[in-house]
Structure 1
Amino acid sequence: PGIGTDSFGRDQQFMNVDKAFIQFAGLTAGRASSFFDFYAHDFEFAGATAGSDNSSTNLLAYTATVGNGLSATLSIEDPVFRRTPIFSPQNISATVNSGGVSNFGVTNQPTPVFVGYTGGVPTRYSYVDSIERSRLPDFVGVLRLDQAWGSAQLSAATHELNIGNLSTATAVGSGGVVTGLPHTNSVLGWAVQGGLKVNAPFIAPGDALYLQGAYGEGAQLYTGYSAFTGSYTQSTTTIQGQKFAQYFSDATINPFTGQLQTSTSFTAVASYLHYWTPEWRSAVFGSYGEQSFSAGARLAQGAIFGLTNPNGANSFGSNAVGVPGTRFYQLSQALRDTYQFVAGASLIWSPVKDLDIGVEGYYTQIGLKSGRAIDLDKSPAAYSNIAGINAGTFAVRTATQDSVSSVRLRVQRDF
């Protein structure tokens, strides 16, 4: 049965199975962990660090054993599990499906694109449907080495970004000649990752060190920059009550060309597990990551904002970029380049086999790579006063970073 709606108000019908796969003669088929992943938060409770971690996805893979612990895998995987929203300034929250046409297609989820010009100046715009389609699966290639000293892995993946076309509705704006209706071409995002696991029995039996790094373009969930929260909305908050949102979109739509402009991201992770005794163990872990949008992408979104909001109206809400050159544009949170830092540790007691009782604490900091953003905690009404911010009549508080410390207690019994 339908048990909910997606972010565009469309009814969803699905069931969830954690693992269900068949392995035979090097072939893996079904629902299993992604072959791209390596560390996958192996030593953590909450999985607070960055890094790729897709424990269950639909895939078809073949692994060839070369010899001496070396293997190579080619995997065809479901792209839905690695999908982030394409940035839309008019993105809305999930709504209950009323059956109305307004809950489908471009009506609620348009991205403005220039189609008409007067004297070389854009004066008319239409909309591109930013809902993502599925055409190609993700292709994952892996080279892995397993030895007594540990493991090493190189992973690579492709991820297609494919959205709708320009609306055929009448363009909005004054005058101007429509110069052509651009078709949004699909873009092939990609990611690469390297990982190393070193066993350290010379320190204590069971000790191990993980090191991992990943870089991606248009494939943010492969680098795992938002692994802790997921990227199911374009501005998911990592910290409850966050001062400003981070934008996790894989791409934006250029309003001048109607084409996709991909974002880039990278992450680096380190984690060490140490056994004090056979019953007591600890892990220390940390990660750093960044996501960046091109300066041209943000400037372009600001240009379309200026046309669609000539009087500073707030139809875009917190996704508003603002008009380039204004104070609001300098302080708005949308499409800002951000970083994320995580550090933590745990202590776990296993009084009997397959029973873990432990506590884990970690610190998370998110911030802007440059400039300042509106502090939504101290200035919650700022996005309703864009004109006042630009005119200097509305005082606004700003911030460069936000942070939080968390502690979790976990009791786990394996059977």
Structure 2
Amino acid sequence: FVNVDKAFIQFAGFTAGRASSFFDFYAHDFEIISGTAGSDVASTNLLAYTAKLGDGLTATLSMEDPTFRKTGVYSPANGAIAAAVGSSTFATFGASNAPAPVFLGFNAAGVGTGIGFVDVVERNRMPDFVGALRYDAAWGSAQISAAVKDVNVGNFIPGSFLGTTGPGAGVPLTAANAAVRARVPTEYGWAVQGGLKLNMPYISPGDTLYLQGAYGEGAQLYTGYSAYTGSYISNTTSIQGSPFQQYFSDATLNPVTGKMQLSTSWTVVGSYLHYWSPEWRSAFFASYGELNFAPGARFAQGLATTIGGVTLAGSPGVPGTRSFLLSQVLRDSYQIYGGASLIWSPVKDLDIGIEGMYTSVGVQQGRVVDLNKNFGVSAAQINAGIAVRTVSSYDGGQVRVRVQRDF
């Protein structure tokens, strides 16, 4: 595995190549584990122009590689879909890897008469556009940045139509019935961030305080609400062995309307670096963040839980049932993170340090099934009233030792 960290050219205000995102500010400068909430894309492909507006004031406009900022659109993908539509075609392979169901027709009673599957793997159709206004002075720095990105999906997957009721049940997708729905329209996510850096030599030479906050819609990786176990996947556990997963998707595809619904997220972080002596220093840091899916998004996904008698395991379940109430899928969540470090630098460019952190993750409302204590319990069993253990949050800690030599 080879990774190019930085490789860029700067000339006459232009920056071209691979560099840190101009949206970022604090970017975990004082941390070893780098677990606080906040944007940190240290290596991305970009083309930017920076203009000097006056004493320490600069403005930057940057086009950046969108790949590094896509968390993905939610998909209840699982092998059950292949069983529903047949498993011998190339189209089914696509359906079983990244599909999201959309109703293609309704009967007089308003019941969906067919389901098509949309390939929700995001495409790179345009660069992300980032703008930043920054001020640097002897006392520190301040920055306001903003970003706009597209959130898009593919087309209906040929051959993956499944009629569910009445005439036409099981009929494959054709040009005629695919035209019932137009292509899913592209949505545009955005984020804003403000940051302040204060130099505090009056406490001790080298002391520095960072404060930062961000808010975004359909742009979770810009606000930095993610998990250090995997920021680019739509659901993961932030702590090994945790009782439920968090969901990080930038959007969900509504199976009734055929339109995307963007999630929102926000984060705040503070970090303070203190020098006890020229050889000894400590960092203290904490953050808080929340992610909320669009109103009604989870309910809409539950309407497509069962397709042709096949239950999609990635679905939150049928609305109104006990399993839906206790499901971990697409739950609004929060994160609390805090930690501190002690680092010794006996000689120049050599750091020997230890860092400890604490994190707490929870759902914002209600409770979910504790998967560690109810392993293998099905939705049908939960709806039948079986006793299950539930949980609303989990926490954990980590300690890491690091020896670093810079050349």
Match of 2:23?
A: 36
Match of 1:388?
A: 381
Query: Letter of the aligned partner of 2:382 in structure 1?
Result: I
Match of 2:328?
A: 333
1:46 correspondence with 2:36: no
> 1:34-53 CA deviation, whole Å, 9 max, x = no partner?
00000000000010101000
Deviation at 1:395, TM superposition (A): 2.4
> 1:322-371 CA deviation, whole Å, 9 max, x = no partner?
11110000000110000000010000111111111110000010001000
8 Å CA contact retained: 2:38, 2:268:
yes
Sequence identity (%)? 61
What are the residue-to-residue correspondences of 1:135-284 with 2, within 5 Å?
A: 135-169=125-159, 170-175=161-166, 180-226=180-226, 228-284=228-284
> 1:53-109 CA deviation, whole Å, 9 max, x = no partner?
0000000000001111000000000000011121001158xxxxxx98368533432
8 Å CA contact retained: 1:265, 1:289:
yes
Secondary structure of the equivalent of 2:94?
coil
Identify which of 313, 316, 322 aligns with 2:312: 316
Seen in structure 2, the aligned counterparts of structure 1 residues 127 and 235 have a Cα distance that, compared at 3 Å, is: same
Match of 1:79?
A: 66
Deviation at 1:16, TM superposition (A): 2.6
Secondary structure of the equivalent of 1:295?
coil
Seen in structure 2, the aligned counterparts of structure 1 residues 237 and 201 have a Cα distance that, compared at 3 Å, is: same
Identify which of 395, 398, 405 aligns with 2:397: 405
What are the residue-to-residue correspondences of 1:338-357 with 2, within 5 Å?
A: 338-357=333-352
Distance in 2 separating the partners of 1:127 and 1:280? 58
> 1:149-204 CA deviation, whole Å, 9 max, x = no partner?
00000000011111111234343312268681232001110000000000000000
Secondary structure of the equivalent of 1:301?
helix
Query: Letter of the aligned partner of 2:77 in structure 1?
Result: Q
Query: Letter of the aligned partner of 1:67 in structure 2?
Result: G
Deviation at 1:225, TM superposition (A): 0.5
Q: Compare 100-109 and 201-210 and name the one that shifted more.
A: 100-109
Q: Scaled by the length of structure 1, what TM-score is found?
A: 0.90
Seen in structure 2, the aligned counterparts of structure 1 residues 91 and 285 have a Cα distance that, compared at 3 Å, is: farther
1:63 correspondence with 2:50: yes
Deviation at 1:407, TM superposition (A): 0.4
Seen in structure 2, the aligned counterparts of structure 1 residues 103 and 34 have a Cα distance that, compared at 3 Å, is: farther
8 Å CA contact retained: 2:227, 2:238:
no
Deviation at 1:228, TM superposition (A): 2.1
8 Å CA contact retained: 2:91, 2:157:
no
Query: Letter of the aligned partner of 1:304 in structure 2?
Result: A
Aligned-residue CA RMSD in angstroms?
Answer: 1.8
Aligned length in residues: 388
Distance in 2 separating the partners of 1:288 and 1:147? 28
1:378 correspondence with 2:368: no
Seen in structure 2, the aligned counterparts of structure 1 residues 40 and 100 have a Cα distance that, compared at 3 Å, is: farther
Distance in 2 separating the partners of 1:148 and 1:209? 14
> 1:109-140 CA deviation, whole Å, 9 max, x = no partner?
21111112122222321111111111110000
Query: Letter of the aligned partner of 1:202 in structure 2?
Result: Y
8 Å CA contact retained: 2:193, 2:214:
yes
Distance in 2 separating the partners of 1:229 and 1:45? 15
Secondary structure of the equivalent of 1:80?
helix
Distance in 2 separating the partners of 1:229 and 1:148? 37
Secondary structure of the equivalent of 1:268?
strand
Distance in 2 separating the partners of 1:104 and 1:321? 23
Query: Letter of the aligned partner of 1:111 in structure 2?
Result: A
4+ runs deviating over 4 angstroms:
176-179
Query: Letter of the aligned partner of 1:174 in structure 2?
Result: T
Match of 1:363?
A: 358
Q: Scaled by the length of structure 2, what TM-score is found?
A: 0.92
What are the residue-to-residue correspondences of 1:18-33 with 2, within 5 Å?
A: 18-33=5-20
Identify which of 109, 119, 125 aligns with 2:98: 109
Match of 1:304?
A: 304
8 Å CA contact retained: 2:20, 2:43:
yes
Deviation at 1:232, TM superposition (A): 2.6
8 Å CA contact retained: 1:36, 1:142:
yes
8 Å CA contact retained: 1:49, 1:227:
no
